[in-house]
Each structure stands twice: as structure tokens, then as C-alpha cells.
Amino acid sequence: MHHKPLNQLKTISSLDFLKQVYRYQTIDSTNEEAKRLLKRKKLDDYTLLLANEQTSGQGRFKRAWFSPPGGLYFSLVIKKTFSPQGLSLMVGMTIAQAFKKTLNQKVFIKWPNDLISQGEKLAGILIEIVDENIIIGCGINTFSESYIKDVNLPDIVTYHLKDEQRDNLLYVILDHLQKDLKVFEREGFIPFKETWKKHAFCLGKTLMFSSPEGSFMGLVMDITDEGGLVIKKDQDIRVYFSGEISLSEIDGEI
């Protein structure tokens, strides 16, 4: 793994578009804290909440997200000036590109909101809407491998980074994300679709898919301009905007 010398790494203090930055050593959840702050006052567009540890990190469907010290946990609050349809896909693509740029690591996107490496979860994205605000929550595993061994969680993977390297990864993610959000606001997911497909592991694979109607094995054929997953089951082709791909069916290619 190739890293920049630490004296060349950048930090978020040089990102002018961040209007407010709240830093926490430990917190229950940066998304939950963002909601609490929004109840008490208005937050500026591009307010960042950043934590070193979360005691009650959450993923989709209120599932617990393992968030020990040393991970990268943040929530970016922006004004809701566009439809968030497909936003988690774009954010996942941005994070995947940041891993490649800063760490020379290719990671894959698991539709609709996770990133995976070696067949295991590396990062998760949780988009929440509060009044006229969008909260983009991200949890990225950059903590020590010892935490995984201690709690015996076989389905997650981590890239242990020094503080300076973690700061640089965050800088690149946010720098790219701000630029990508400007494009997304105007044009939606379409400009990101082909790049997203290059990072997606699921296209062309037959996988277990869980939808509101039940679970089934299906061939993942494509993704739509709006971010829907095109799946073929027997001779029936449908587009799904909600559901989940089972990691247990994935082979060792990723």
C-alpha cells in the first residue's frame, strides 16, 4: 500500500465550503447529533459533524453500525435543494474514488449504500431527510484490526490508518463530494452512472436479493438513470429502488 508522506497530507481546515465543523471524541451517532442540533437551531449549508467513536452508530433499518475508536464517522448537513433519489449511490462512488486516490485501494460498491472489500463491509452510508435538510452520514472502517478480533465480527473489514492518513482521506472525500453534489443538484445520478458501474461488484452476477415482497435469486442486469437496480428473475425483469443484496452469496472475487 502506497501512502503520501505525512507532511504532504491535507486536512479539512483548508476546505472553504465547510461553514461549521463540530468535532466529537465520542458520541452516540453523528446523524442523531445532527438531528438534535437541527431541532434547536438552523445549521448552515455544509455543516460537518465528525467523531472518533460512536456508541450507537446506525445503518439502514436502524441496524447497529460497529464504530470503535479510530474509525471515520461523519455527517454532512446540506440544504435540500434537490431530490435525494440516487444520492447514496453517488456518495458511495465518491468514497470509492477517494480510496483509490489516497490509498491506491480498489473498493467496491454494494447497492445501495455500502462499500466492500475482500467480500466484507468497509463503509456504510445513511441518508436522512430532516425538514429542508439532507444529512449524509458515513461510517468508514479505519480502526485497528484488533477491534474486529475482540468482538468477533467476521463480516467487516478495516484499513487501519494513522490519524494523518485518516484526515487526508476525509479531506479528499469531502473535497470531491462538494464538487459532485453541485453536479448532482443539477443533473441527478445520470452523470455518475457509468463510473458507479465500474465500482459495482454486483452487475452481471446472480445473487440473493431481499425485497419488500420477499427474497429470491436474481441476475443483476443494470442500474437505471435514477439508481434503481434492474434484476431478472426467471423471465421477469423488474426495477427495485429498495431492497438488499446478500453478502453471503458473494464469491472471493472482491
Backbone region of residue 182 per phi and psi (left: phi > 0; alpha: psi in -120 to 50; beta: other values): alpha
Domain C-terminal end among 178, 197, 216: 197
- Domain hosting 207: range is 202-249
**What integer pLDDT is reported at residue 3 of this predicted model?**
43
Domain check: are 172 and 76 in the same one? yes
Same-domain check for residues 208 and 167: no
- Is 51 a member of any domain? yes
Local structure of residue 158 (DSSP, 8 states): -
Shared domain check, 177 and 149 = yes
Under DSSP, is residue 154 helix (H, G, I), strand (E, B) or coil? coil
Same domain, yes or no: 119 and 179: yes
DSSP assignment letter at 42: P
- pLDDT at site 213: 81
CATH number of the CATH domain containing 214: 2.30.30.100
What's the pLDDT score for residue 154?
65
Is residue 254 one of the residues assigned to a domain? no
Residue 1 resides in a domain: no
Specify whether 24 is located in the same domain as 128: yes
Nearest to 90 by CA among 26, 216, 185: 185
Same domain, 130 and 217: no
pLDDT of residue 252: 42
The answer to whether residues 72 and 95 belong to one domain is: yes
Q: How far is residue 252's CA from residue 118's CA, in Å, rounded to a whole number?
A: 7
Place of cell 438513470: 225
* CATH number for the domain that contains residue 61: 3.30.930.10
Please tell me whether residues 137 and 74 are part of one structural domain.
yes
Per residue in 102-122, is it b (16+ CB within 10 Å) or e — as a string?
bbeeebbbbbbbbbbbebbbb
What is the strand order of the sheet 47-51 is part of? 20-24, 47-51, 72-79, 133-140, 120-130, 114-117, 108-110
Please indicate, yes or no, whether residues 213 and 136 belong to a single structural domain of this protein. no
The reported pLDDT for the residue numbered 146 is 85
On whether both 81 and 123 belong to a single domain, the answer is yes
Domain end among 197, 214, 237: 197
What is the mean pLDDT for each group of 10 consecutive residues in the chain (254 residues)? 48 90 94 95 93 80 73 96 95 96 94 91 95 96 85 81 94 97 96 96 91 90 96 93 76 44
Q: Are residues 114 and 137 in the same domain?
A: yes
Task: Decide which of 182, 197, 212 is a domain's last residue.
Answer: 197
Supply the pLDDT for residue 149: 76
Residues counted in the chain: 254
Instruction: For residue 15, give the amino acid letter.
Output: L
Closest residue by Cα to residue 251 from 219, 205, 198: 205
Q: Are residues 136 and 212 in the same domain?
A: no
Q: How many domains does the chain have?
A: 2
